[in-house]
Amino acid sequence: MNEQLNMNKRRSGVILHATSLPSRHGIGDLGPEAYRFADFLCRAKQSCWQFLPLNPTQEISGNSPYNSNSAFAGNTLLISPELLCEEGLLTEQELRAAPRFPEGRCDYRAVIPYKEGLLSRAYERAKSSRGIREKYEEFCAAQSSWLEDFALFVVLKGKNNRKAWNEWDSELRDRIPGALERMQKDHAEALEREKFLQYIFFTQWFSLKKYCSEKGILLIGDIPIYVNYDSPDVWAHSDIFMLDERMRPAFVAGVPPDYFSKTGQLWGNPLYRWDRLQETGFDWWIRRMAHTLNLFDVVRVDHFRGLVAYWEVPSTEKTAINGRWVEVPSVDFFSALTRRFPVFPIIAEDLGIITDDVRDVMERFGFPGMRIILFAFDDDNPHNPYLPDNYIQNCAAYTGTHDNNTVRGWIESEASHDKKRRLFRYLGRHVPPAHLHMELIRLIMMSVANTVVFPMQDILGLGEEARMNCPSIANGNWQWRLTPGQLATPLVDKFAEMTEVYGRA
């Protein structure tokens, strides 16, 4: 096994999504600040950098990276203008003309039209570059299995007033070859632009990945198991999804009622036809996983339990109450994946209510699960699996994820009196909110968990204002950004020392 992929080695790292990097262009990107952050990780003796999904985001979905219109494409908002300038595709003057964006937050409404304009200029200049053309054509050939459908879908959405694909003319909805060929011919220029932007995104990403690899930094990615209905994935592969005669979802994904919600959660994603997937040898999923493992060294699988059994809700329902559990041929599925990928480095997101069938699959295939220390103080149970002394080696431990409050935000505004009492009893003393983040990081660092990862906000000890996502709120999420001055030398030294002390350097 490649030493960098040895999941049994003690490691530590940081969660910081690409959008959260500093940038004068209003949103983090894959440019100079990404390389500086990799340098920070190296100086702090960290060996993991965890990202949220890198797929395109949409304003209609609150810019959530977990609700994308493609399971394969990259988010072109992450393309670095500085790197485009280095290639001669933008000018210094164009970069200097950037509007003043707020520091520490991402204003998507201002960022999207600004960056779209820059990308259009870059594309126009690239058309006359012979050197780029050759590499671009190689990229298109290598990625044709998803790229052609993605580009055509994006263009046709624009030509159909953003309507969902099942509302297009029947010839396009049903992908009649002659109709698709006409569209490809009539809109060749627009298709080229979409494919070129994907080429630029992946070129910049793999350059950053190479840099991180040379510094011994593993990149951890994130893959939502479901896809958006209005996507090229469903349009081009409708046979593997549960759709009705009108090509709408017959059943949709969600989770049943629980302690947190009396009506459950109705996500609305189309469900897979696992019988059909099984007949194809799980081909679509294998191609999706191969693509993702090419981007990252390790992949966190979001809502892992849905790959063992899923909550099926009729699409006519308004809540998730009237659903049922349906089993997935999970052993066959994961056997096919592990045959295809003898090194299959995933982290199973197994948070929430996990049943024995899910645990059995994880144990059978040796998949590490997750431990969140903020969940450890909900009860007085000394065997609570989220307490650090109950961790196992084969797990990934966190202070929190993108869906949690920060440690400081949690203790200041969320934790009940009883939770605080249990926490301080566990620590053996009262700890002020301003210092609690480092105490919890230390507890996780010294645990037996092989992999430990901390949101950048917790390393900095930031409060609720720095939270990445609040699942109960539709707007205002995914906006937090790091500022350059926050990566100060004392922080680097303190984090590096702790990492060395607990054998994770």
Catalytic residues: 302, 349, 403
Q: Kindly state the tokens that stand for 229.
A: 């209905």
**Strands 11-15, 451-455: parallel, antiparallel or unpaired by DSSP?**
parallel
Work out the end-to-end distance of the chain between its first and last CA atoms, rounded to an integer number of angstroms: 20
Residue 102 backbone phi and psi in degrees, to 5: -65, 140
Helices 188-214/32-43 angle, 10° precision: 20
What radius of gyration, in Å, describes the C-alpha atoms of the chain? 23
Instruction: Give kind and range of the element (H or E) at residue 83.
Output: helix 81-86
Residue 173 backbone phi and psi in degrees, to 5: -55, -45
Q: CA 355, 361, 363, 365: dihedral to nearest 10 degrees?
A: -160
User: What does the DSSP assignment read for 480-501?
Assistant: B---GGGS-HHHHHHHHHHHHH
Residue 255 backbone phi and psi in degrees, to 5: -135, 150
Instruction: Give kind and range of the element (H or E) at residue 427.
Output: helix 417-427
Instruction: Give kind and range of the element (H or E) at residue 116.
Output: helix 108-126
3 state DSSP class of 437: helix
